[in-house]
Structure 1
Amino acid sequence: MKNLILILLLSFSLTSCLDNLQAHKGGKTLSETTTKAEKDFKYWTWITADSKRADSSYVSEFKKYKENGLDAVLINTETDAALLSRLTPLAKAEGLEVHAWMFTMNRPGDSIALEHPDWYAVNRKGESTFDKRPYVEYYQWMCPTREESTGHVLDLVEGLAKVEGVASVHLDYIRLPDIFLPIGLLPKYDLEQEEELPQFDYCYCDVCVAEFEKIHHKNPKEMENPAIDIEWKQFRLNKIKQVVDQAYKIAHKNGKDLTAAVFPYPEMADHMVRQRWDKWEIDAVLPMIYNNFYNEELDWIGWATQQGVEDLKHKNVALHTGIYVPPMSPQDISEAIKLAKENGAKGVSFFDGNALTPEMLRAIKDSK
């Protein structure tokens, strides 16, 4: 019996040694796996460019980000490909990824689009964002159905995708105007939104209505309550998806990824802004999980992250949690990063770079 026990102990010891040897040869230990997961967790920030700033100023900014643990910058050049071409090598030289951040369906001050008033989205009252803008002055939204308006948007995508060194084209405002504002923002506009109000319900332009009527044999303008017509809502969700899917092909044709800033999780995005991003052809999403916009506590960042991760579990799409930093303390930022990691995010993005204080940057660096 003792001999049998001795043989078993020797066998277990030999197996353990072989397992350890195999781990060193090709496998990964638990600590190695954890280190890789930490290393792959990406830190981004959104920034807006100014062509008048000197290169040296940008180099200092990019160096600051890299030294404090950031990995990527999403740069808004207002779709100026030449400016993006100038800034991309500066950021890459400091070790940062560069992503071309663009306003997509919302095109405020677009000189080409402004020559075509019929390109703009129209609400249920018949008002166009060309001259009647909802909520704020910079809300000028393109119709997602017209070939001319979507063609213009996709041309801009291609211009950015051709810039050498860019990692992705990053779509923002890839939706229709807010049918519902985040609850925390309603007092700012002295609004109550307990139902879909006609002045915030888009797009009822002639092209959208005619195409929908051809498919479904009913006119949304004649519906007593279009908010409960699922085909009408789905029609508009599909139109946004078509723009994204075409942008995806353009980006990939030019060797770039397609990423997007989106509302916190798909079901909420569907309800609030006609955006169902778990159905899109896309490489990564950065949901803007801005808890204070919704009067939510910090732990909501983890909960909303988990919702999005769950909706994407059968798709090869990475989710990086967007964090709104202005109202946060450095301790809050550390906790937000932790919540995103624990709930399956592949990274975090901070809005925006200009709002990151030295104390916040130290918290970001320490979290790595």
Structure 2
Amino acid sequence: MKLPKLFLFLLALSIISCTSNEDKIPFKFGVWTTADAKKSDAEYTKEFKKYKDGGIDEVLINTSTDPKLLQRLVPLATKEGLKVHAWIMAMNRPGDSLALQHPDWYMVSKDGKSCFDNRPYVDYYQWLCPTRKESREHVLALVEELAKVDGIESVHLDYIRFPDIFLPISLLPKYNLVQDVELPQFDFCYCDECTNAFEKIHHKNPRESHNTSIDMEWKNFRLNAIKAVVDDAFQIVHKHNKQLTAAVFPYPEMADHMVRQRWDKWNIDEVYPMIYNSFYDEEIDWVGYATKQGVTDLEGKKTKINTGIYIPGLKNDKELKEAILQAKENGAVGVTFFDGNALSVSNLKTIKETKASLK
């Protein structure tokens, strides 16, 4: 009878040990950075070493969807002890040489203007339609080329949404805008492919709707179009034994309202909500609030939350530390900073000290 008791004791000890190890999963620190092929390997080694010495664990690198440049940078970052994610601008593809040969691939606004040559807000807003077979397959092919690169942790989707139907409140004066209602020039995608597909399902044309802002079927059609791209990307990157992550708007209901993005419905491993409090005229505690909203909406799902922090929007290092703590205390598995160029020596010192205090 002693053997079963010993077995049960060892089993209980094993369970406690596993639980203890799960509790000790380290809170991670990342940074978004944009690559420049003209920079030397020595310059990149110096940059990556700076991040690592400052407490950073991972880099999310925008190589303008160039897998060869990514292949060059991965071993340099890995050698310095950093994990690498392949950051891609997904539906917004400014200057995409292949896409530009196909004007019909681009989103169209409610007032009939195409992102191909009439871009909302800024010149780099050139959004591809997520419904049209050719444009979505183009984006997914780019995702797959990045997923094939050895040594990366994930393909990291950015701009995986529609153009902003509502801008963050602090940006409105910059564009001399008032957005109390959905304005037609910022409402996408009314291309033939989308409206025909919608009409086939729902037997109505959104172009003829008196008030599309309260047409839930039309909004859900567009939310689901983005979800379909994400879900396909998830299958592709997992085929290559990588994860899928994404930069998203602060929390699902807000993302739904502002950019037709409902990320709590996606098949995805980890989301990085850009909780840039200064964009919304919010205080630092809003970082905790928005993080918790996302964590709550993802309850019961495997998707993790990594809180994005906007360095230029912080007043000082005290706010930086508070933002990190707000994210951790409200359920994030890490924080990621935008962007590498904005991190000062003082910022990195604060990050390193805060990281040490969490152990």
Letter in 1 for 2:267: E
Query: Counterparts of 1:347 and 1:259 in 2: how far apart (Å)?
Result: 13
Decide which of 142, 148, 151 is 1:162's aligned counterpart: 148
Using structure 1 for the length normalisation, give the TM-score. Answer: 0.91
Q: Map residues 170-185 of structure 1 onto 2, 5 A cutoff.
A: 170-185=156-171
Q: Which runs of 4+ in 1 moved over 3 A?
A: 21-29, 35-39
Determine the C-alpha separation between the residues in 2 that align with 1:284 and 1:112. Answer: 29
Deviations 1:101-148 (A, max 9, x none): 000000000000000000000000000000000000100000010000
Deviation at 1:67? 1.2
Q: Which residue is 2:217 aligned to?
A: 231
Task: Give the equivalent residue in structure 1 for 2:272.
Answer: 286
Post-superposition Cα deviations, 1:205-242, rounded to whole Å, max 9, x if no partner, equal 00000000000000000011111100000000000000
Establish whether residue 335 from structure 1 lines up as the match of residue 309 from structure 2.
no
Q: Which residue does the alignment assign to 1:262?
A: 248
Task: Letter of the 1:58 partner, please give it.
Answer: Y
Q: CA, structure 1 residues 112+302, in 2 after alignment: closer, same or farther (shift >3 Å)?
A: same
Distance, in Å, in 2 between the alignment partners of 1:38 and 1:367 is: 16
1:71-117 Cα shifts (integer Å, max 9, x gaps): 10000000000000000010011111100000000000000000000
**Alignment match of 1:275 (pick from 261, 264, 281):** 261
Amino acid at match of 1:180: F
Percent identity (aligned): 63
Alignment: residue pair count = 347
What are the equivalent positions in structure 2 for 1:1-368 lying under 5 Å apart?
Answer: 26=14, 33=20, 37=23, 39-328=25-314, 329-368=316-355
Query: Residue deviations 1:254-306, cap 9 Å, x none?
Result: 11000000000000000000000000000000000000000000100000000
- Taking structure 2 as the reference length, what is the TM-score of the superposition? 0.94
Structure 1 gap ranges (5+): 1-17
For the aligned residue pairs, the C-alpha RMSD in angstroms reads 1.8
Please give the alpha-carbon distance, in whole angstroms, between the structure 2 residues aligned to 1:143 and 1:24. 54
AA matched with 1:87 = L
CA distance, structure 2, for counterparts of residue 101 and residue 52 of structure 1: 19
Retained in 1: the 8 A contact 2:112–2:190? yes
State the distance in 2 between where 1:39 and 1:91 align: 22
TM-aligned CA deviation for residue 314 of structure 1: 1.0
In 2: Cα distance, 1:323 partner to 1:96 partner: 19
Letter in 2 for 1:133: R
Shift of 1:327: 2.8
Alpha-carbon separation, structure 2, partners of 1:314 and 1:45: 28
Question: How big is each residue's C-alpha offset from its partner over 1:142-189, in whole Å with a ceiling of 9 and x where there is no partner?
Answer: 001000000000000000000000110000000000000001110111
C-alpha distance in structure 2 between counterparts of 1:113 and 1:22, whole Å: 60
Larger radius of gyration: 1
Equivalent in the alignment of 2:3? none
CA change 1:354–1:36 in 2 (3 A) is farther
